């Protein structure tokens, strides 16, 4: 397979190159390669995008999403690799569920899907899950996503065990006692709507706790979906001291503020909640200065039945796989905050390095995982067009720039947009 006349995003910059793949790997990169190929004139080719934080809902909540529909959404969104969170039913807290996901992903055969194991049995926060057995079955990290591990000593043990097995802990940071039923960020819009708010400290306290543990124990930790300006600052200061902390944020945190819930749009109900302009700008600055390593969608598909209800009863989460690239390109690269190589780093290079996955760069010998996008195309988000079963997006009707045209995984085309 050859991609022709592409603008290729490499670590060194963007270059006009042809790319030849052989046996699933990049075999040649040159200005002009002989032979038939896919014409990529006008397209920009990124290393296959990697989303290290998605929810696929299988097993247990297949009405919301399943591994196949989630994988279709992933390749349509430009992702060649995704990592799925363990808050399924049953919870992915053992090798049986982890193996099930690995096998089902292989049968579906679209993108690479890496399961993330739970930290505690049943995500109940009582006993550690069998981390080594989950790793042997294919888990690439552990996480209690959806909540934090309440008991600090248990979290310390989890970090130690995870490190012994070469896995990272991915931390959803939320002090449940402070959130105490809050459904939005506490501020002007919680007062305006009468919805119960939760303060930044609910997130920041656990970010600080995980940093303290990582620092004291000399172990790595990864902070999920950073949403507060103060959380960004905690991570920045920790990194400056040499703490082995990495962090992600999501497109909704650098695109929206809590103004999105002013009219009770349950599609903007997400955890952690959308915050204020000050937070949004700090998240962008964190991405720019390297405090925030990467972008993940926190793809959280829900059924209409879970969202088309009174705000307090609606599920938390945004279906994000199919808007992540365009929102990131529009908000960060087209705006000038990040260069194209920096965007590729946030959406591919960094997640690969954080989790120790192969991929994340375009070079001879690397897996032929490639994402081609038209960066000049402007389009309007329409959830009816999503491959995901989750149509829950606060971005419906929004105009964005940058459209994924082609996703290649191990040298095979797994998604190609139909041409008009
Ligand atoms: O908004 C969210 N949705 N936040 C979470 O932590 C969990 C996720 C889900 O599983 O729906
Ligand atoms: Zn989470
Ligand atoms: Zn999540």
pLDDT by 10s per residue, the chain, length 420: 999 999 999 988 999 999 999 999 999 999 999 999 999 999 999 999 999 999 999 999 999 999 999 999 999 999 999 999 999 999 999 999 999 999 999 999 999 999 999 999 999 999 999 999 999 999 999 999 999 999 999 999 999 999 999 999 999 999 999 999 999 999 999 999 999 999 999 999 999 999 999 999 999 999 999 999 999 999 999 999 999 999 999 999 999 999 999 999 999 999 999 999 999 999 999 999 999 999 999 999 999 999 999 999 999 999 999 999 999 999 999 999 999 999 999 999 999 999 999 999 999 999 999 999 999 999 999 999 999 999 999 999 999 999 999 999 999 999 999 876
Of all protein residues, the one whose alpha carbon is nearest to atom 6 of ligand 1 is 146
Q: Which domain holds residue 209?
A: 47-363+379-399
Contact of 127 with 153, CB cutoff 8 Å: no
Q: Is 326 left (phi over 0), alpha (psi -120 to 50) or beta?
A: alpha
DSSP state of 337: S
pTM of full prediction above 0.95? yes
Q: Is 316 in the pocket of ligand 1 (CB under 6 A)?
A: yes
**Residue 143 half-sphere exposure toward CB, CA atoms < 13 A:** 30
What is the C-alpha separation between 289 and 319, in angstroms, rounded? 27
**Residue 205 half-sphere exposure toward CB, CA atoms < 13 A:** 15
In a domain, 409, yes or no: no
Nearest ligand 1 atom to the CA of 317 is 1
**Mutation to probe ligand 1, out of 54, 84, 87 (largest number of atoms < 8 A from CB):** 87
Q: Which residue has the tokens 């960066």?
A: 375
Contact of 29 with 365, CB cutoff 8 Å: no
**Mutation to probe ligand 1, out of 63, 300, 302, 314 (largest number of atoms < 8 A from CB):** 300
Contact of 13 with 47, CB cutoff 8 Å: no
In the reported structure, the alpha carbon of residue 146 is separated from the centroid of ligand 2 by a whole-number distance in angstroms of: 4
Q: Is 379 in the pocket of ligand 1 (CB under 6 A)?
A: no
In the reported structure, the alpha carbon of residue 282 is separated from the centroid of ligand 2 by a whole-number distance in angstroms of: 19
In a domain, 97, yes or no: yes
What is the C-alpha separation between 50 and 80, in angstroms, rounded? 6
pLDDT of residue 420: 63
Tokens read off for 161: 């065990």
In the reported structure, the alpha carbon of residue 4 is separated from the centroid of ligand 3 by a whole-number distance in angstroms of: 37
Q: Is 146 in the pocket of ligand 1 (CB under 6 A)?
A: yes
Burial 12-32 (b: 16+ CB within 10 A, else e): eebeebbbbbeeebbbebeee
Contact of 42 with 376, CB cutoff 8 Å: yes
Tokens read off for 321: 């796989």
User: Phi first, then psi: what are they for 341, rounded to 5°?
Assistant: -60, -35
Strand pairing of 370-380 and 399-409? antiparallel
Contact of 371 with 80, CB cutoff 8 Å: yes
Over the Cα atoms of the chain, what is R_g?
A: 20
**Mutation to probe ligand 1, out of 252, 269, 271, 272 (largest number of atoms < 8 A from CB):** 271
Q: Is 87 in the pocket of ligand 1 (CB under 6 A)?
A: yes
Q: Which residues are known catalytic residues?
A: 298
In a domain, 27, yes or no: no
What is the C-alpha separation between 238 and 346, in angstroms, rounded? 20
Q: Among the bound ligands, name the one nearest to the CA of residue 54.
A: 3
pLDDT of residue 379: 98
How many domains, the chain?
1
Tokens read off for 76: 């349509």
Q: Is 117 in the pocket of ligand 1 (CB under 6 A)?
A: no
In a domain, 26, yes or no: no
In a domain, 370, yes or no: no
Q: What are the helix (H) ranges across 55-138?
A: 67-76, 95-108, 131-137
Output the domain CATH number for residue 247: 3.20.20.140
Closest to 268 (Cα-Cα) out of 195, 353, 171 = 195
Of all protein residues, the one whose alpha carbon is nearest to atom 2 of ligand 1 is 317
pLDDT of residue 129: 98
Q: Which residue has the tokens 């990495």?
A: 246
**Mutation to probe ligand 1, out of 54, 55, 176 (largest number of atoms < 8 A from CB):** 55
pLDDT of residue 3: 98
In a domain, 72, yes or no: yes
Tell me: cis bond preceding 90? Omega within 30 of 0 counts.
Answer: yes
What is the C-alpha separation between 213 and 58, in angstroms, rounded? 32
Nearest ligand 1 atom to the CA of 224 is 6
Q: Is 300 in the pocket of ligand 1 (CB under 6 A)?
A: yes
Contact of 232 with 282, CB cutoff 8 Å: yes
In the reported structure, the alpha carbon of residue 145 is separated from the centroid of ligand 3 by a whole-number distance in angstroms of: 5
In the reported structure, the alpha carbon of residue 288 is separated from the centroid of ligand 1 by a whole-number distance in angstroms of: 26
What is the C-alpha separation between 306 and 303, in angstroms, rounded? 5
In the reported structure, the alpha carbon of residue 21 is separated from the centroid of ligand 2 by a whole-number distance in angstroms of: 36
Q: Is 317 in the pocket of ligand 1 (CB under 6 A)?
A: yes
In a domain, 295, yes or no: yes
In the reported structure, the alpha carbon of residue 179 is separated from the centroid of ligand 1 by a whole-number distance in angstroms of: 14
In a domain, 38, yes or no: no
């Amino acid at each position: 397979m050859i991609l022709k006349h592409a603008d290729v995003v490499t670590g060194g910059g963007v270059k006009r190159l042809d790319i030849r793949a052989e046996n699933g790997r990049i075999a040649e990169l040159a200005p002009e390669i002989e032979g038939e190929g896919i014409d990529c004139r006008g397209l920009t080719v990124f290393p296959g995008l990697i989303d290290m934080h998605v929810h696929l809902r299988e097993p247990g909540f297949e009405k919301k999403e399943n591994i196949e529909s989630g994988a279709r959404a992933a390749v349509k969104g430009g992702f060649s690799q995704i990592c799925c969170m363990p808050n399924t039913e049953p919870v992915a807290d053992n090798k049986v569920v982890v193996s099930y996901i690995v096998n089902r992903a292989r049968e579906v055969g679209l993108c690479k899907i890496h399961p993330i194991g739970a930290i505690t049995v049943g995500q109940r926060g009582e006993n550690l899950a069998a981390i080594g057995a989950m790793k042997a079955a294919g888990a690439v990290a552990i996480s209690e996503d959806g909540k934090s591990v309440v008991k600090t000593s248990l979290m310390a043990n989890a970090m130690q065990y995870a490190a012994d097995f070469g896995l990272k802990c991915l931390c959803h940071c939320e002090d449940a006692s402070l959130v105490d039923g809050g459904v939005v960020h506490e501020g002007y819009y919680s007062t305006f709507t009468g919805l119960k708010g939760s303060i930044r400290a609910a997130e920041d306290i656990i970010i600080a706790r995980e940093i303290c543990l990582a620092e004291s124990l000399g172990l790595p930790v990864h902070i999920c979906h950073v949403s507060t300006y103060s959380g960004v600052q905690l991570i920045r200061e920790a990194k400056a001291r040499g703490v082995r902390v990495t962090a992600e944020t999501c497109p909704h945190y650098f695109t929206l503020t809590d103004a999105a819930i002013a009219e009770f749009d349950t599609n903007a109900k997400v955890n952690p909640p959308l915050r204020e302009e000050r937070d949004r700008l700090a998240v962008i600055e964190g991405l720019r200065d390297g405090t925030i390593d990467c972008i993940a969608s926190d793809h959280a598909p829900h059924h209409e039945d879970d969202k088309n209800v009174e705000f307090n009863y609606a599920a938390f989460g945004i279906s994000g796989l199919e808007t992540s690239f365009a929102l990131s390109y529009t908000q960060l690269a087209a705006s000038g905050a990040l260069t194209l190589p920096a965007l590729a780093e946030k959406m591919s290079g960094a997640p690969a390095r954080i989790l120790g996955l192969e991929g994340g760069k375009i070079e001879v010998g690397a897996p032929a995982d490639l994402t081609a996008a038209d960066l000049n195309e402007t389009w309007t988000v329409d959830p009816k067009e999503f491959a995901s079963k989750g149509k829950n997006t606060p971005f419906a009707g929004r105009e964005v720039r940058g459209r994924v045209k082609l996703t290649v995984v191990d040298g095979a085309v797994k998604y190609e947009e139909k041409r008009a």
